[in-house]
Every structure is written in C-alpha cells, then in structure tokens.
Amino acid sequence: MVEETHIQLKLEEIRELAKKVFLANTCSTEMAEVLADVIMLCERDGPASHGLFSMYSYVGSLRNGISNGKANPVAEYPKPGVIRVDGDNGYNQFVINKFTQELVNAARETGIATLAIRNSHHIGPLRQDLEPIAKAGLVAFSCVVSKALMTSYKGNKKLFGTDPIAFACPRKGKEPVVWDMSTSSMSFMEIEVASTKK
C-alpha cells in the first residue's frame, strides 16, 4: 500500500510552481503569469478543484494542441461599447486580463459594454474575471459555454454543458459581492475531485 505524502506550499511557491509548469508546456510568459495567478488564487480562496488539481486539464489541452499557449488575441470594435476578440485559441483568462481596462473604459463611456470572446477556452472559475470590474465600481456579468458533459433527465447521452455563469456587484468600502456557479447541480471539476478519493 502506498503511503500518502502531504506537502505544504506557500502561495507564492504555488504561483511559481504553476508558472514553471505553464512555461514548460508552450505558454508565453504573459499567459503563464495570468494562469499561475488563477491557480494561486483558487488555492487561496477556493475552489480547490480549480487550483493545482486542475493543472492536468491545462497541461493536457496545451500538449494535445487544443489550446494555444502563445495566443495573440486580436480585438475589433464594431460598435461603441462592443469589444469583439478572437482569442487565437488561447485561454479566456488571458484574453479577459488583456482587455479588462478597455472594457471598463468602454462601460464608463457608453453606460454598458460587452467583451465578446470567440475561439478560446476557459478552465477555472469566472469570479477572478469579474472581480477587477466590480472593484472598478461596475456591475459585471459573465457566461461561458462548455462542451457536452451532462445528460437530460433519465437520458443516457451527454447533451448539455455545465455552462457556468457569474456576476459581481461593487460595494462601497467593502469587497465586491461575487456569485460564480455552474448551472448543473454539481460542477464537473468537483466530480473529478471526488473520483480521486477513496
């Protein structure tokens, strides 16, 4: 029987470890830093299923060529308040990080703004995408599509995604209120975590 070993890491050590893994798996320095922050914050605040545990998903998609670790997102501005981005097959967190300030500026100018991202992937929570917008004093809403992971009631074929949604509201003198949820009764990553337990 294999004895379990537990290792404790400081938050900065988690960030550095994640960054090294991303750099070793085709990510640009800029993308590795954004994703390493996501991993570290999930280890700090939860959910743990989206922290170090999720590294296998990131690394698998990078190694299989599903995701582009050196993505160069390109934006179009078809209307005032609309930022439309081709994510170049990279990760949404990288795209959102790159265009958050533009989105905030556009919302302040027009009263409402949209960042529409195509050709990209999202692993991880949505909370961290929205918190900077709420901290800038704006209400934010996000939704992400997912691949088919769930069956219908009494079904036997995967038809629906967990299609997560999130929103954030600023509060004067306090941290924003942020709601981040899967639209399924349990998130896919929580099931993955449960499957590893004896």
**What pLDDT score was predicted for residue 2?**
61
User: What confidence tens digit (pLDDT) does each residue in 154-172 have?
Assistant: 888 887 777 788 999 999 9
**What pLDDT score was predicted for residue 34?**
95
Helices (H) and strands (E) in the chain, counts: 6, 6
Give the Cα separation of 185 and 72 in Å (integer).
35
**What pLDDT score was predicted for residue 164?**
80
**What pLDDT score was predicted for residue 187?**
65
**What pLDDT score was predicted for residue 87?**
96
**What pLDDT score was predicted for residue 69?**
95
Enter the tokens of residue 102.
């533009």
Domains of the chain: 11-195 (3.30.1370.60)
Enter the tokens of residue 34.
């954004």
**In which residue ranges of the chain is pLDDT below 50?**
none
Q: Cα 52 to chain center, whole Å?
A: 13
The strand pairing partners of 121, in sequence order, are 91
Question: DSSP label at 26?
Answer: T
